[in-house]
Amino acid sequence: MEDAARQAVAICVPVRNEAARLPRFLDGLGRLAVPPATDVAVCLLLDSCTDGSADIVSDYAHRAAFPVHVATACRPDANAGIARHGAMTLGAAVLGNANGILMTTDADSCPQDDWLRITLAALAGADVVAGNVIRRGPRRDAAQDRIERYYADLYALRRRVDPVDWEPPVAHPHSSAANIAIRLSTYAALGGFAPVASGEDARLIDDAARAGFRVRREAASVVHTSTRRQGRAEGGLATALDWLDRAGIDPVRVTHPVDQLWQYRHHAAARSTFRRRDFSALAAAIRLSVDHVIGVARDCPNAEAFAMRVVPVAPQGMRQVSLPIAEAVLAALVAAADPARAA
């Protein structure tokens, strides 16, 4: 990986008792199409494994298409964030330079064959790529499907009122560690995944935007993930699916789309304000003092960081409403924003 013209990539995966799913995942890695001048390493962190995962990984390392680097960890306080960061730290050590690229996914998942090609192409115009995650399995999860459609429509509205040039024409709302690619220098600047039991992926993506990095949510970059109901991460997708099985859609609450739209529109206004350096109108609109807004701008490297940091919650707060109410309101907002699209 010494040739500066080549691109070095580390695929970093935490593994905890995944013997039943590892063969499918590892076979999927072997089918990946590798772009020209790209060197790929697979970095696996065996996190307190007590099943046959280590043996499966050892066998794979002898026949893999890529170099395989394995580390083990056994921490009593281990959680999803700690394990994910451990895998990324292994990847960083293997890359050895700030120009490398870290990609991460899950051992119960399977990337599409074009995952590397599409994700790396997307990263050429961004600092972080949050790829799409599609659930697979013999059963459909109607409630989860409905929730995901709602958030997809809300995110599409966001990018119509607050477009950014690094997003693709078709984006998505996910911030899942099952499909993230990030420049090593960016990951180091952000301090890595937080040591939390769940939500470490969304926090990293939010932190990246607040720091002014370009986050591209690339729908064409696809990883297929498990629909199991007993997962490894506390509070992860498996937990959510299990809860929906038992509770149904009725208890689901989401942020009122009117309040989200208020933020999105003011994000757009903040970007424009940062470029013009005329802060009075924005300060009045978001109900902050001009001095406060100028102080935030002074600490921001670019318009993305400013927009993400300066805009507060909506004046009425971020109200929680039932999903059916949110869907109906969002449909009306979409129609008002773009009647032709809604027709």
Residues 57-106 pLDDT 10s: 999 999 999 999 999 998 777 799 999 999 999 999 999 987 899 999 99
pLDDT of residue 232: 59
**Angstrom distance (rounded) from CA 184 to CA 320:** 37
Q: Which of 228, 25, 43 is nearest to 112 (CA)?
A: 25
pLDDT of residue 342: 45
Q: Are 70 and 46 in contact (CB under 8 A)?
A: yes
pLDDT of residue 93: 97
pLDDT of residue 231: 52
Question: pLDDT tens digits, residue range 131-175?
Answer: 999 987 645 677 788 888 999 999 999 999 999 999 998 899 989
pLDDT of residue 167: 96
Q: Copy the structure tokens of residue 171.
A: 């984006």
Residues 6+ apart with CB under 8 A from 79: 195, 196, 197, 198, 233, 234
pLDDT of residue 74: 87
Q: Copy the structure tokens of residue 188.
A: 């180091």
C-alpha dihedral, 44 to 47 to 51 to 55, nearest 10°: 30
pLDDT of residue 186: 97
Task: List C-alpha distances in Å: 5 to 8, 100, 108, 115.
Answer: 10, 12, 33, 21
Query: Whats the size of the chain, residue-wise?
Result: 343
Residues of the chain with pLDDT under 70: 1-4, 137-140, 227-248, 250, 339-343
pLDDT of residue 343: 45
- Give me Rg for the CA atoms of the chain: 21
